[in-house]
Structures are given as structure tokens and as C-alpha cells.
Amino acid sequence: MSADINKLEQIASQVRRDIVRMVHACQSGHPGGSLGCTDYFVALYFNAMKRNPSFDMDGKGEDLFFLSNGHISPVFYSTLAHAGYFEVSELATFRKINSRLQGHPTTHEGLPGIRIASGSLGQGLSVAIGAAQAKKLNKDNNLVYVLMGDGELQEGQVWEAAMYAPHNKIDNLIATVDYNKAQIDGSTDQVLSLGDLRAKWEAFGWDVMEIAKGNDMNAVVAGLAEAKSRTGKGKPVIILMHTEMGSGVDFMMGSHKWHGVAPNDEQLASALNQLTETLGDY
């Protein structure tokens, strides 16, 4: 599928506006990682993934996506809304009482596009592997995608799953790590060093690739296309996607402190001045 990069960048700009406005309105949420992963979400949902907005949980005959690091729900919700899963106006209910758009995605409200409750870190890869294995059993040739944070790779369950997938030749899976090297308490190097991530995943038997510029739409689109070309060859694929927390908003970039902090009124105004309104604010 050929990508209109300019169109994707316009969508990403609006998604970033949505993110800072959503988190500001309820003074709660996680803008840093959401902004850092915006280009990935837009490239995935508007270019790479075969998907059906008339959502059903079985997901037969389409690609599936699972968000493991569920705290970056603002970028997920905005992307889903602009991709036609529910009305964009519903973004105004983020983290409000009785909203379907909870701080971490959940399934019991029946929000279209949400396949698992996530936020308890370290679980998404296991779920995605199970879904990918089910597709193989069902002779469904579509792909399964999962996004993880780098901080959650400090969880043991991730590495149990990492061992399971190559052993079972789960080669219809594309996992991505948001490799921004920051987590809520500081840099990953300070909290618990991840060491040589490429060497680790390769040692576990994965086909490892990297996107060096995870906030460059051209690079992300090309990286996802490359990952798709590597599926079906006996190994699961993982992308180490280098991003910057807070990408697109200058005062949020380069610091872990915006992992889970809402902007005040002045900060919101500054952020919105940096992000072009392209699709109309909700």
C-alpha cells in the first residue's frame, strides 16, 4: 500500500493536538509516551494495517492490534476515533465519570477497537502471541501487531513470551518496542538497564529490526512495510523503534517527567501553538 506521507503527517498533527487537549481537560493522563508513539499509530492504522472499523472481537479476516503499554491510551483513542471506530466528539469524555475512554483501555464498555484491557504492564506480548497462534489454527493469513513500552521489558512475563513465540514459529506477528529509554521514575538505564536489546531478542530467536527515527513518518511507514515483508518466514518479527517522549512539543521532549503529568493552561497553549490543527478539534 503506497503511503501519502503528507496526509499521514496531517493526521498525526491532529492526533497530537487531541492528546494534549484530552490530558489537559481532565488534568490526568500520560502525554509523553502518547506523543512519542503518534507517528507509529497513524502509520499503522492509516497505512499498514488491514482493518475493519465495523468492529467485532473475533477479528477474522483482518489484522489485529494490541496495546500493551495501556497508559498511552490518549494516542490510541484519538487514532481509533479518526480511523472511524467511534465519533471524534467522544474524545471530550476522556477520563471522565462513566466514560468509555478510561485512563487505561478496558473492554467492558464495548469501546470499538479495544480488544484487551491493558495497563498492567508486561502482558500484551503474551496476548498477541495467543491471537497470532489462533489465526494460524484458523487458517487466517492476516497479521497481529503489538506495541510495548521499553520499561515494561523489565517484566519477566515478556521474556517467557519471547521464548515461546520463536519455538512455536509464530511468524505472523510484528511486535514493536517504543524504545524511548525513559519510564516514570527516570531513564531505563537508571531504573533497570535493558542492556543490548537487539542481542537479547536475537538470542531468543526473533527477527530483529530497528527504526532509528521513530518520529519520522517516512521512516515509520518504511519500517512497518519492511517488517511485513519479513513475516511468514518462520520467525516472529520485532521492531526496536527509537522515539522521543513528548515528540512534537518542545518542552515535553527529552525528559521522563512528562510520562504522566498534565499540562497547565499556559503549557497547553504553548503546545497547541506548535501543532497545526488539520482535521478540526473536537
Q: Which domains does the chain have, with CATH numbers?
A: 3-272 (3.40.50.970)
pLDDT (mean) for 33-37:
97
Placement of cell 522521543 in the chain:
244
Cβ neighbours of 2 (radius 10 Å): 7
The band of 2, judged by pLDDT with boundaries at 50, 70 and 90, is low
CB-CB contact of 122 with 65 (8 Å): no
Strand pairing category for 186-187 and 182-183:
antiparallel
CB-CB contact of 35 with 252 (8 Å): yes
Q: How far is CA 73 from CA 64, 96, 102, 138, 223, in A?
A: 17, 14, 8, 30, 23
Instruction: Please report the pLDDT score of residue 215 as a whole number.
Output: 98
pLDDT > 70 fraction of the chain, expressed in percent and rounded? 99
**DSSP state, 5?**
H
Residue 199: phi, psi to the nearest 5?
Answer: -65, -40
**Strand partners of residue 176:** 147, 239
pLDDT at 140 over 90: yes
